[in-house]
Every structure is written in structure tokens, then in C-alpha cells.
């Protein structure tokens, strides 16, 4: 229905014109009397006389109806009617279509959010005026051009239909970079010599349309240069908010009983209603254990912005531990949530576990009998190697030290040694530091005491740090994401740092130092205390406990995986969870890199080295699991209000009313003449 800017004018005009017109059909004209021989030929005149008889019953009249329509149309035109209409796009469109994991949510009508987004995108293409052009960019953790600029609406719609769903995370950075590159109004070729301003093309600026549910992780961190964010349109899709997801899973073998497997997981309810569900444990597809979990609903705090992932409501997130399982071989551990919710990708999680074995520790030292004897007291296998031999083995890719791109030992202890030759692994530095970005060591610090420490950390459990001292330690500098465990007065003494698939425990002091004469001397009496052995056991257990669920055996969606290749294998076949198979040539290398990991599930490798027959891809992303659509999307420093439909605009409708009035007048003139002159 149209809206009227001046509705009062309609009533005034109708009151002033419609009643007089009707009255004219009731009144009789005063006529002069004439005597005539016959009225046979005056039949129409007799009818007119009957019509103009005062106060007689009004007969059906087509002329009266047409004249009433004319006057009604004129009155409506005076009311200035306005019609709501979808504005037709500019000459150039760039469509960004989200294909991340949360776009797999099934909405009303049994359509996914991606289906709804593609329908809206195709409608935008269909509404383009003649001669317009558009391009399509699909994005999740990475972005790709689905269709280059084209004026063929049918071809563009076909490319939109071809966009496939993924189970990956959402990152808008690459998509906006592509949009900026294609929408910038600068001619490729740069500035002209002698001029300060780059020449611009005659093409109009592109309009960017973003089709998403708003679950974007990097929107507020984007640096937008040429793109006009205020002119961008964000079309939100989806409505469901009910979802329970697995946010983490950890499997590890008992430190003292390697044949005993322990499985843990953390769950969270992102929906508003409480949920009761079964969490089932499977090993090699065989049911093992079940846990009944009750989760409270997630309540968004009052005043909290929808664009921010708020902390969980108490009771809406829980950690579960399954019963210990005797499992003395390798296999696949899986957790399944039996719940009917919006997103299926986070209801299952997988982990590949290796066969039980004792922890293998490599001590890289120029000679330190104290560390050798202390590590020998632990239930681990210890091997000793000189620093020069370790670096040579890494450079040569020696299978004794290297397993593909990862160190074959569970923990490597570096004694008074700093190096940059660090394959993926777990490292414990004494009196040295890894040569990686953000980590540096300075001159020795003397005559200071430990200032603070975190005795709740697993490494310092049951360790009385107040009774520990050291005569000197290196001035250690670590990045802000490192975790200081023991702090000195001016720098950390013990810190933990994670980088990718590697982790580093860095102790800034050595057990043995040299005096001014170059003779070795004890730097700490800690080595004479029983809790020094406790500290070493904590450190080795902490560093080695993550091996069963991290490293090359698991990866988030979209992350490349390094797969070791058996000797003389020309290629490896990878069976994906979606049923498709990929073949990756080895080209003579010992490893291959595989990046088609955007589907969660278990991937099977053939042929494979023992222990590398499978690898798992899990979502483990709270942003994607929080499926409730966002009404506001942060893009750089701006916040864009999302719309659920195409943006309507008000168009004046009175010209169309006047045109209708003219057509009715023409019809009335034709009817009147036919009635009089027939």
C-alpha cells in the first residue's frame, strides 16, 4: 500500500467533488415544451428526461462510475502518494558471499544460510539495469574470485550457484582486499610523471554488497584504504541461535602408565534455552563411554554489543572427562554430541592417538652431569647429543632427529645453548633461548632475587619457588603473548611460549657457570633439593602431554597439513570426509603439503608411514559456533548496520495516478459519445 504525504487533501478534494457529481444525476433540467408528431426517434431523450427527474431512484450508469473514478484519482493525486520500491543498483557491483561454517545452519524452509545468501545475491544481479556489470567473491578463512566482472546475468547467477559450503572460519580481510583492488578508481600504471594526482578512470565507483550472518573474526582489525565503508551494504541472513558446540578436545596417555588413555573435552551452549545431551566417546568407531551433560542457556548481558563474543553464562560451558581407557595401540578417538541444533560441524570432534611409548627426551649439552643424572631419575628415555651434532642432524634432515618437519623426540632439553635450528617440537632451554622473533637475551643479571611466580601453573606444582635461588641469570626478553612463570626484579626468569606447533619453556639461568678464572661453578643449590626432580618431571610432563592431540595429527579447517611420505612413494592418496579423493604427488620429497582441509572430519592417507594413516580437522571455534546472526558488523573503524532485506526507497506515485486519471477520462469520453451518437 502506498503512503501519502498529504492525506488531508484527499478528503477535502473528495468532499468537494464527489457529492456534487452524484447530485447532478438526481436533478432534472428545466426544459421548454414543444409539440412533436412522434417521440419514436427520441428514445435517448426520454431516457435523459427520466435520469434528470428530481429525487428519483438512481439507476446504473457507466458514465457516473467513470466520472467517480476520475475524481477519486484526482483526489488521490493531491494526497501525494509514495510507493516503497527496491532501489536499482549502480552500474558496478561487487558481491561478497560468506561460505564459512556458520553459513551451514539450516534455517526455516530447510535452506542453509548459504542458500539464502546466494538467493539474495542472484536477486541483486537480476535487478541490475541494462549495461551494468558485477563480480562475485567467495570467502571463509581465505577469499577467491568466483566470477570476474561480467554483464551476463545468467552467467553471474550460475557462478553464484556454484559457490560451495565449507566448515572453515570466517576472515574478511582477503575478501575486502580483493574488493578494494577491483573497485578502486585508479588507472593501473600509477601516477603520470610531473603530476601529484593519479589519473582516474571514467568508470563509476563499485557498490559492495556483503552477504553474511555477521560471524566475522577480523572485521575490527581491518585497515580500509580506498573502499567507502559507509557505502557498503551488509545483508544479514539467518535467524536461528540454538547451538551446542565442542570447543576443545584433548587426549593423553597416563604419564606413568602409557597404556592408559585419558580423554577430555569442553562444551558450550550458545543458545538461549537450557540443553540436556549425551556426549559419547568412540575409539575406532566402537562405543566406549557416555556422559550426560546439562548446560544452561546463554544470556547476552544487558547493554553488551551483539558484535562482541561475550563470556559464557555460568553453567552454559562445562568441561567433561571420560573414564580412563586401556588402549595400547594407535587409533582414532571421537566425541559425538547427541543433540539436534543449528550447526552439525561442531557436534563431533576427532583426535588421532599414537601407540603407547615412554617419553623420549634429548639432552643437547656440551657436558652437564647434573642434568644427565637428574633426567635419569625420571621414567623417560634420555639420549645425549652435542650442540654441534644436533644442528648438523637438523640441517641434514637426519631421521634420527627429524620426522618430516617435526623433531622425533618428545622433549628437547637445551643446556647453555641458543639456536635457530628448531624444527616443530617441544623445547626446554636452560641458560639459553630459542632464536625466534621476540625472544632475546642480554648481559647476565646478578645479585637479584625472584620477585614473583605463578605456583598454580603445572610446571611449578609442588615446587617451593621461595626456596629456589640462582646467583645470576640472563636478561631475558620475551613477547607479550609469552607466559612468565617466575619473575625477577627486572626481567622474567622462567617463561613459557607457544609458536605454531612448537612450544618453548625458557629458564634464564644455567645450573653451571664459569667463574672469573674460567672454572666451572655451581650457579644454584636447587639441584641438591628433592623438589628439583619434581620440577623436571613437571616440565617434561607438561611439554610432552600435548603430543597426542596436537602437531601434525590435527589441524583447524583451512590450515595446510604436512604429511610424511613413505620411501619410493610417487604420490599419496587422501580420502576426504566428504567422500572425495585427492592425489598429491611427492615429487621425490620426504613430505607433502595438503591444504584442502576446509571440511571437518577424519582424513585417510594411503600409503602412509606408521602412525600417520589419519589426521583430523576440527572446528573448535567459538565465533563460528555462536551462530546467532549479528545485527552490526565492524569493518575497520566503522560499524555497519546489517539489513535482512534489500534496501527499499520511496518513489513518488502521483504521476502514475494522474496517468490513470487521464486514461479513465479518455474512456469516459468514448462511452459518452457512443451513448449519444449511436
- How many whole angstroms separate alpha carbon 491 and alpha carbon 495? 10
| Residue 587: band (very low, low, confident or very high) from pLDDT cuts 50, 70, 90 | confident
Per DSSP bridges, beta strands 133-139 and 92-98 are parallel
pLDDT at 232 over 70: yes
Q: What is the pLDDT of residue 552?
A: 39
> How many CA atoms does the CB half-sphere of 306 hold within 13 Å?
15
- Alpha carbons 678 and 665: distance in angstroms, whole number: 20
pLDDT in tens, 79-109: 666 666 555 545 789 999 999 999 999 998 8
Question: E strands along 151-206, which residues?
Answer: none
pLDDT band at 309 (very low <50, low <70, confident <90, very high): low
| Model pLDDT, residue 304 | 60
C-alpha cell at 608: 602412509
Structure confidence at residue 635 (pLDDT): 83
More confident residue, 257 or 465: 465
* CATH entry, 360-548, from 3.40.50.300, 1.10.3720.10, 3.30.420.10, 3.40.50.880: 3.40.50.880
pLDDT higher than 70, residue 672 = no
CB count in 10 Å sphere of residue 57 = 6
According to the model, what pLDDT value does residue 520 have? 86
Q: Say how far apart CA 326 and CA 259 lie, in whole Å.
A: 6
pLDDT of 187 reads: 39
Q: Are 607 and 589 in contact (CB under 8 A)?
A: no
Residues comprising the chain, all counted: 678
Query: What does the DSSP 8-state code read for residue 629?
Result: P
pLDDT tens, 137-164? 999 999 999 999 999 999 999 999 999 9
Query: Is 106 exposed, middle or buried, given 0-12, 13-18 or 19+ CB atoms closer than 10 A?
Result: middle
Distance of alpha carbon 338 from alpha carbon 397, whole angstroms: 45
Residue 464 above 50 pLDDT? yes
pLDDT of 77 > 80? The answer is no
The predicted pLDDT at position 189 comes to 42
Residue 551: band (very low, low, confident or very high) from pLDDT cuts 50, 70, 90: very low
Residue 410 C-alpha from the chain's centroid: 33
Residue 38 has pLDDT above 90, yes or no: no
User: What single string gives the DSSP state of each residue in 314-361?
Assistant: TTSEEEEEPPPEE--S-EEEEEEEE---S-STTSEEEEEEPPP-PPEE
Dist. CA 351–CA 333, nearest whole Å: 5
What is d(CA 289, CA 618) in angstroms, rounded to the nearest whole number?
21
Q: How far is CA 89 from CA 127, 144, 192, in A?
A: 7, 23, 33
Q: In the numeric block, which cell numbers belong to residue 6?
A: 498529504
- CA–CA gap between residue 168 and residue 142 (Å, rounded): 9
pLDDT value of position 474: 93
The predicted structure's pLDDT at residue 225: 74
Per-range mean pLDDT, top range of 219-228, 247-256, 474-483: 474-483
In the predicted model, is pLDDT for residue 72 greater than 90? no
Mean pLDDT of 538-560: 70
End-to-end Cα, the chain, rounded Å: 41
Backbone φ and ψ for 11, nearest 5 degrees, come out as -65, -40
Q: Three-state DSSP class for 182?
A: helix
Count Cβ neighbours within 10 Å for each residue of 15-42 and write b for 16 or more, e otherwise.
eebeeeeeeeeeeeeeeeeeeeeeeeee
Query: Phi and psi for 128 in degrees, rounded to 5?
Result: -65, 135
Q: Kindly state the DSSP code that residue 200 receives in the 8-state scheme.
A: B
In the prediction, which pLDDT does 547 show?
42
Positive/negative CA dihedral, 621, 624, 627, 630: positive
**3-state class (DSSP) for residue 390:** helix
Phi, psi at 58, each rounded to 5°: -75, 125
pLDDT of residue 197: 47
Instruction: For the domain covering 92-188+200-239+629-646, report its CATH number.
Output: 3.40.50.410
pLDDT at 646: 53
Q: Is 437 exposed, middle or buried (0-12, 13-18, 19+ CB in 10 A)?
A: exposed
**Residue 583, pLDDT score:** 94
How many angstroms separate the Cα of 32 from the Cα of each of 43, 45, 385, 469?
18, 14, 135, 133
| Burial environment of residue 442 by CB neighbours within 10 A (0 to 12, 13 to 18, 19 or more) | exposed
233: which 3 cell numbers? 551494504
Query: What does the pLDDT read at residue 653?
Result: 66
**DSSP count for the chain of H helices, then E strands:** 11, 41
**183-187, 222-226, 334-338: which has the highest mean pLDDT?**
334-338
pLDDT value at residue 678: 37
Q: What is the pLDDT of residue 572?
A: 94
> What are the two backbone dihedrals, phi and then psi, of residue 369, each rounded to the nearest 5 degrees?
-70, -25
Asked if 206 and 232 count as a contact pair (C-beta separation under 8 A), the reply is no
Q: How far apart are CA 202 and CA 336, in angstroms?
A: 57
Options 3.40.1010.10, 2.30.130.10, 2.60.40.10, 2.40.30.10; CATH for 244-355 is: 2.60.40.10
Return the pLDDT at 224: 78
Average confidence (pLDDT) over 577-588:
91
Q: What is the 3-state secondary structure (H, E, C) of 82-98?
A: EEEEECCCCCEEEEEEE
Q: What is the spatial distance between Cα 184 and Cα 207, in angstroms, rounded to a whole number?
A: 11
- Of the candidate ranges 13-27, 367-381, 469-483, 562-576, the one whose mean pLDDT is the lowest: 13-27
**Tell me: the pLDDT tens digits for 387-423?**
999 999 999 989 889 887 789 898 999 999 999 999 9
pLDDT tens per residue across span 179-218: 888 876 443 444 444 444 444 544 567 889 999 998 887 8
pLDDT of residue 222: 81
Amino acid at each position: 500500500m502506498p503512503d501519502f504525504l498529504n492525506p488531508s487533501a484527499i478528503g477535502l478534494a473528495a468532499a468537494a467533488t464527489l457529492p456534487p457529481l452524484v447530485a447532478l444525476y438526481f436533478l432534472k433540467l428545466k426544459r421548454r415544451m414543444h409539440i412533436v408528431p412522434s417521440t419514436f426517434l427520441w428514445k435517448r431523450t426520454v431516457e435523459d428526461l427520466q435520469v434528470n427527474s428530481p429525487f428519483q431512484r438512481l439507476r446504473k450508469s457507466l458514465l457516473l462510475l467513470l466520472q467517480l473514478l476520475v475524481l477519486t484519482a484526482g483526489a488521490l493525486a493531491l494526497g501525494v502518494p509514495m510507493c516503497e520500491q527496491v532501489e536499482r543498483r549502480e552500474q558496478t557491483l561487487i558481491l561478497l558471499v560468506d561460505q564459512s561454517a556458520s553459513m551451514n545452519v539450516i534455517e526455516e524452509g530447510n535452506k542453509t544460510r548459504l542458500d539464502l545468501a546466494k538467493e539474495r545475491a542472484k536477486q541483486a544481479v537480476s535487478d541490475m539495469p541494462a549495461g551494468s556489470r558485477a563480480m562475485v567473491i567467495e570467502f571463509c578463512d581465505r577469499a577467491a574470485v568466483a566470477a570476474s566482472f561480467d554483464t551476463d546475468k545468467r552467467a553471474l547467477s550460475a557462478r553464484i550457484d556454484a559457490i560451495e559450503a565449507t566448515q572453515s572460519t570466517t576472515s574478511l580481510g582477503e575478501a575486502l582486499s580483493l574488493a578494494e583492488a577491483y573497485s578502486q578508481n585508479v588507472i593501473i600504471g600509477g601516477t603520470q610523471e610531473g603530476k601529484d594526482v593519479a589519473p582516474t578512470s571514467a568508470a563509476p565507483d563499485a557498490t559492495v554488497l556483503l552477504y553474511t550472518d555477521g560471524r566475522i573474526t577480523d572485521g575490527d582489525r581491518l585497515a580500509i584504504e580506498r573502499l567507502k565503508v559507509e557505502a557498503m551494504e551488509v545483508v544479514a541472513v539467518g535467524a536461528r541461535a540454538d547451538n551446542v558446540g565442542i570447543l576443545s578436545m584433548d587426549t593423553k596417555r597416563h604419564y606413568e602408565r602409557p597404556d592408559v588413555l585419558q580423554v577430555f573435552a569442553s562444551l558450550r551452549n550458545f543458545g538461549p534455552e537450557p540443553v540436556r545431551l549425551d556426549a559419547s566417546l568412540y575409539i575406532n568407531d566402537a562405543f566406549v563411554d557416555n556422559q550426560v551433560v546439562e548446560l544452561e542457556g546463554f544470556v547476552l548481558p544487558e547493554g553488551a554489543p551483539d558484535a562482541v563474543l561475550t563470556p559464557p553464562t555460568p553453567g552454559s560451558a562445562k568441561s567433561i572427562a571420560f573414564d580412563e581407557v586401556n588402549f595400547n595401540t594407535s587409533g582414532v578417538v571421537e566425541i559425538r554430541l547427541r543433540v539436534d541444533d543449528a550447526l552439525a560441524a561442531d557436534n563431533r570432534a576427532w583426535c588421532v592417538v599414537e601407540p603407547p611409548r615412554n617419553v623420549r627426551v634429548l639432552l643437547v649439552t656440551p657436558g652437564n652431569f647434573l642434568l644427565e643424572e637428574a633426567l635419569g631419575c625420571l621414567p623417560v628415555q634420555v639420549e645425549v647429543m652435542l650442540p654441534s651434532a644436533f644442528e648438523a642432524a637438523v640441517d641434514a634432515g637426519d631421521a634420527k632427529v627429524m620426522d618430516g618437519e617435526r623433531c622425533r623426540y618428545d622433549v628437547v632439553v637445551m643446556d647453555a645453548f641458543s639456536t635457530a635450528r628448531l624444527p616443530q617440537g617441544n623445547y626446554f632451554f636452560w641458560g639459553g633461548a630459542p632464536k625466534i622473533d621476540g625472544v632475546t637475551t642480554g648481559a647476565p643479571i646478578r645479585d637479584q632475587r625472584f620477585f614473583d611466580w605463578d605456583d598454580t601453573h603445572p610446571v611449578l606444582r609442588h615446587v617451593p619457588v621461595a626456596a629456589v635461588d640462582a646467583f645470576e641469570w640472563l636478561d631475558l626478553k620475551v613477547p607479550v603473548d609469552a607466559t612468565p612463570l617466575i619473575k625477577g626484579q627486572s626481567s622474567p626468569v622462567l617463561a613459557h611460549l607457544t609458536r605454531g606447533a612448537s612450544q618453548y619453556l625458557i629458564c634464564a639461568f644455567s645450573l653451571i657457570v664459569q667463574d672469573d678464572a674460567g672454572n666451572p661453578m655451581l650457579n644454584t643449590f636447587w639441584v641438591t633439593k628433592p623438589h628439583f626432580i619434581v620440577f623436571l618431571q613437571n616440565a617434561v610432563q607438561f611439554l610432552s602431554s600435548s603430543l597426542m592431540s596436537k602437531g601434525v595429527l590435527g589441524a583447524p579447517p583451512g590450515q595446510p597439513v604436512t604429511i610424511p611420505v613413505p620411501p619410493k612413494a610417487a604420490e599419496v592418496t587422501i580420502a576426504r570426509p566428504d567422500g572425495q579423493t585427492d592425489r598429491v604427488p611427492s615429487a621425490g620429497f620426504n613430505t607433502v603439503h595438503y591444504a584442502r582441509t576446509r571440511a571437518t572430519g577424519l582424513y585417510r592417507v594411503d600409503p602412509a608411514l606408521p602412525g600417520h594413516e589419519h589426521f583430523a580437522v576440527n572446528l573448535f571455534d567459538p565465533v563460528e559456533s555462536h551462530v546467532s546472526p549479528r545485527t552490526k558488523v565492524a569493518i575497520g573503524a566503522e560499524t555497519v548496520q546489517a539489513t535482512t532485506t534489500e534496501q527499499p526507497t520511496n518513489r513518488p506515485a502521483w504521476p502514475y495516478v494522474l496517468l490513470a486519471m487521464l486514461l479513465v477520462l479518455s474512456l469516459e469520453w468514448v462511452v459518452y459519445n457512443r451513448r449519444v451518437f449511436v
